Structure 1
Amino acid sequence: MKKEWVLNGDSVSYLNWEDLRRAIDYDLEQDRNFSYAGLSADEIVAHIARFVSGLWQIHAFGEGNTRTTAVFTILYLRSIWL
């Protein structure tokens, strides 16, 4: 657990290192099977928020997880721009 400034000092429960690969594979597969077709802007934002927060919670690195997640999110948004 680690207090995060983006959560107003709240924390997130992170995974054990043994579960990292399975969790990353699961989240990426869930997104790969997701379709944005016909969704409202609110539904799109809700999906992106769930997807990105799931990846962030995996917390794969000792340091730099928030920065890495932010950069990933920018690249992800560019890749799906409708």
Structure 2
Amino acid sequence: MISNRQILMQIEKQLQEAKTASGEQSIRESLAAIKALCDVALTVPQTESPTVLQTPSVKAATLTVPSAPLKEDDANGESLFDF
């Protein structure tokens, strides 16, 4: 997760680039980057400490598989598709 401190450091970097830029286009690019960073900081929910979600452990049920195929009177064979 991106912390507010990291976003602020990037905003400061872009601000310095805007201050030292020689052309109008470079200044606008830096300002657009600052705007995007501000949008990220305001839309992403920030937490002070990252929380770890713990999922409850689920024990798998023991499945019993019959060792011999079932024999039915009206079946034609051992295949699943034999009717």
Normalising by structure 2, what TM-score?
0.37
Q: Which structure has the larger Rg?
A: 2
Q: Which structure is higher in RCO with an 8 Å CA cutoff and minimum separation 6?
A: 1
Normalising by structure 1, what TM-score?
0.37
* Structure with a larger share of its residues in helix: 1
* Structure with a larger share of its residues in strand: 1
